[in-house]
Amino acid sequence: MKRHALISALVLFLTSFGLLHCSDDSDTENNNPQGDADSYDISLDGEIPSGSNQDSLPYAIVDTGQTTCFDAQNSIPCPVTGATYFGQDAQYEGNEPRYVDNGDGTVSDQVTGLMWQQDPGAKMTYAEAVAGADSFSLAGYNDWRVPTIKELYSLILFSGRDVDPTAEYSADMTPFIDDDAFGFSYGDTTTGDRIIDSQWVTSNIYLETVMGGEECFFGVNFADGRIKCYPTTQGGKGYFVIYVRGGSNYGTNAFTDNDDGTISDAATGLMWQQSDNGDTMLWSEALAYCEALELAGYDDWKLPNAKELQSLVDYSRSPGTSNSAAINPVFQATGITNEAGESDFGWYWSSSTHANQQGGTNAAYVAFGRALGYMNDTWMDVHGAGCQRSDPKTGDPTDYPTGHGPQGDAIRIYNFVRCVRGQGTLDENPSNGGDEDNLVPGDEDPDTNENTETTGPVTCTVEADCQAAGACPEDAQLGCTCSTTPDGKFCVPTCNTTEDCPNPPDRTLICGTDNLCVPQE
């Protein structure tokens, strides 16, 4: 299709959905002019770059898989707008995990573009895991590597359930990884392991030391659903490793300061609150804070899920090496004095419940400062700035003067908040209670809810705008991308095949060569 014809086709397409018409300034005054995430320009002097949906971004965040809502203890029907605990992880739909078993010992992730070794096999030492990548060959490929922490964490699922470290194996245990797609084992208690000893290796070495001088790497425990820093000199029980290939830029952010109190990440398609909330609060208060936030002309903020929040960690920074939180300096982070009396930085709530066999008393947080524990009668950093652990949703932190658990993890209960907008749309029919009396967006009938109808042009400035409710035709299978047209920037449906395109009443749309839905000539 010629360039000028494609421009005309897109204009006609937008018009057919009521998404484009001549407008004055009032049509766009509620759309933030700032933001510099990727756009897909339509111009007469260049081809249109391929369209992008959320999972075609270079650092697409895979959804957590959490579909159950919780209060401070138990699973509950998902709350309605304005109710306590509204805005939690299960109420937002993101990029559903999509794995392809290649039948050759590898698994391809259709969201991240990464290819994985399917089964880790036996445990090994950290040194063996790192050295083994150089000679590893599988399915005709020899460019395998040890995954980064952000690559490995893309596999975590918060549909898992934490287990008691002293428990024996039982059939009702649910790991924090898709064990249909990947080989997974709990710790073998017959050899002296604890049931939770399923720690997996990454290439990220902590810049500081833990537990009084131990070098450690950030690993993911798919048995208990945490990122912790594990000693590189670990003997005995060892660690699991699966090698990865492809997607060399996965986990690399592309931040832009929008000069309005927000930061856009073109790599993930997310927009972030630049400053945190400035004070600590309970989990329920954190949910409510983000749902009520109005910033830079947007009111669709939410508390990030654990994987969105972890995407912000900068593992090249730490309190002891850069005198900062483990986050890009374009963000502000509130300083604290920690349990050891040191200058430090806080922990931040996610919207993800960290469930266990008994219920949902804890929620996941990411530590952008040190992750302290009480060991050998003193407070020390035990898991590093950049780990992900969990805190009780309610309670009194003074009830835990020496922390909790085998390593005396500090329990704060009150944590900081940094809100996000972008990936994830509100699920109107949550799986654990989505009837007419339990609609997530509010008490309105979804067929008449003004917030989800497309009644006029849907302009955009960043990719995140096209993820908002009503920004894209409901039958656009792959969502929309923020594209530049002769009349401005609008949310245009993307596609891989014609079946992905919407079906307006007065024309037939096909998937163009640039992965944008256009009218059939």
Cα–Cα dist 370/384, whole Å = 5
Residue 482's pLDDT is: 77
User: Tokens in use for 481?
Assistant: 């991308």
Distances (CA, A) of 395 to 4, 105, 412, 416: 63, 46, 9, 16
Instruction: Assign 212 to helix, strand or coil.
Output: coil
Torsion sign, CA atoms 172, 407, 311, 468: positive
CA pair distance 482, 463, nearest whole angstrom: 5
Q: Using CA atoms, how far apart are residues 334 and 281, in angstroms rounded to an integer? A: 13
Q: Determine the 3-state secondary structure of 70 from DSSP.
A: strand
Pairing of strands 199-200, 216-221: antiparallel
DSSP string of 481-498, one letter each residue: EEEEETTEEEEEEB-SSG
- pLDDT tens digits, the chain, 521 residues: what are they? 333 334 444 544 554 454 443 333 333 333 332 333 333 222 222 222 223 345 579 999 999 999 999 999 999 999 999 999 999 999 999 999 999 999 999 999 999 999 999 999 999 999 999 999 999 999 999 999 999 999 999 999 999 999 988 888 877 899 999 999 999 999 998 888 899 999 999 999 999 999 988 999 999 999 999 999 999 987 557 999 999 999 879 999 999 999 999 999 999 999 999 999 999 999 999 999 999 999 999 999 999 999 999 999 999 999 999 999 999 999 999 999 999 999 999 999 999 999 998 899 999 999 999 999 999 999 999 999 999 999 999 999 999 999 998 899 999 999 999 999 986 566 655 555 433 333 233 333 333 333 333 344 587 766 667 767 678 888 888 888 877 665 566 788 888 888 888 988 767 888 887 788 888 76
Q: Which two tokens stand for residue 432?
A: 């654990």
CA dist 67 → 76, 96, 352, 469, 487 (Å): 11, 11, 10, 19, 40
Name the residue type at position 203. S
Residue 485, pLDDT score: 63
Cα 111–chain centre separation: 12
Q: Which residues contact 26 (CB under 8 A, 6 or more apart)?
A: none
What phi and psi, each to the nearest 5 degrees, are found at residue 54?
-60, -40
State the pLDDT at residue 1: 37
Q: Which residues have a Cβ under 8 Å from the Cβ of 242 and sit 6 or more positions away?
A: 116, 117, 118, 119, 120, 147, 182, 200
Instruction: Give me the DSSP letters along 215-240.
Output: -EEEEEETTTTEEEEEETT--TT-BB
- Provide the CA 39 distance to its chain's centre, in angstroms: 21
**Cα(192)–Cα(195) distance, integer angstroms:** 9
Phi-psi region of 236 (alpha: psi -120 to 50; beta: other; left: phi over 0): left
Nearest to 155, CA basis, from 126, 184, 130, 128: 184
* pTM score, whole prediction: 0.75
Sign of the torsion angle spanned by Cα atoms 426, 63, 329, 271: negative
HSE-up (13 A, CA, CB side) for residue 231: 11
With the C-alpha atoms ordered 336, 342, 343, 347, is the resulting torsion angle positive or negative? Answer: negative
Rounded (10°) CA dihedral 362, 364, 366, 372: 30
